[in-house]
Amino acid sequence: MTQGPDAPHRAAAPAQAIGDAPQGEPTRSATHIRSFVTRRGHISAAQERALREVLPRVRLAYAAHPLDLVAAFGRSAPTVLEIGFGMGETTAAIAHRRPDVNFLAIDVFAAGCGALAKRIDEMALSNLRVMQHDAVEIVRDMLMPDLLAGVHIYFPDPWPKARHHKRRLVAPPFVALLASRIAPGGYLHCATDWQHYAEQMLAVLSAEALLENLHESYAPAPRNPLAERPTTKFHARGTRLGHGVWDLVFKRKG
């Protein structure tokens, strides 16, 4: 399976030894098809140490009630949600560049959570929190309408086989839910390195009544007039190999 610029977790999910997600099982966990499958994979010693020593300081637990962002971050600031941060390179870079914004990062895989926790510690990031749980349940149960300044979905699992397309995260029911959580004027920025998924994303996002495309179709990658996606080493390698990348930037209507 072709990998995206910041999606090494798509090929090898972590072992279940340390904090494998999802954490807990809410009573409504069977109401949607999950966009991920927990598999075993390698966790480095550094990631394992960060899971033990750093992640508890920056992790927010899932709970089936609204999240108090001021309490979670210790301040009131615009909040951007990222779903599926891989190994956290892009997430940490954006958070470092925008200290005035709070970033809530969600992923289910332990290796990625350990890698991001390690970056948070090394870069002394105080504006980034991590949730290791199913993003659909977090958005549905914990985020109130009109709450978010923006949402990033960068290189989600493309589920390339036709019989697995139902597992794709960017699909009408979830996009409708997600759009309702974005404040008027806020944005949704998606990116993928699979052309078929890009075409589906464009169709799904264009059909959502609460969203409007800021471009005629795809955005000039990786530029976003509201939040720029940095080019990672994985993206740069893919570009050298001739792999395509498609960005889409939509705005929540007022």
As annotated, the active-site residues are 157
Tokens at residue 224, please? 């976003």
Buried b (16+ CB within 10 A) or exposed e, 72-106: ebeeebebbbbbbbbbbbbbbbbbbebeebbbbbb
Q: Cα(58)–Cα(54) distance, rounded to whole angstroms?
A: 7
Residue type, 116: L
Residue type, 240: R
* Cis, bond preceding 22 (omega within 30 deg of 0): yes
Q: What is the DSSP track for 129-148?
A: EEE-S-HHHHHHHH--TT-E
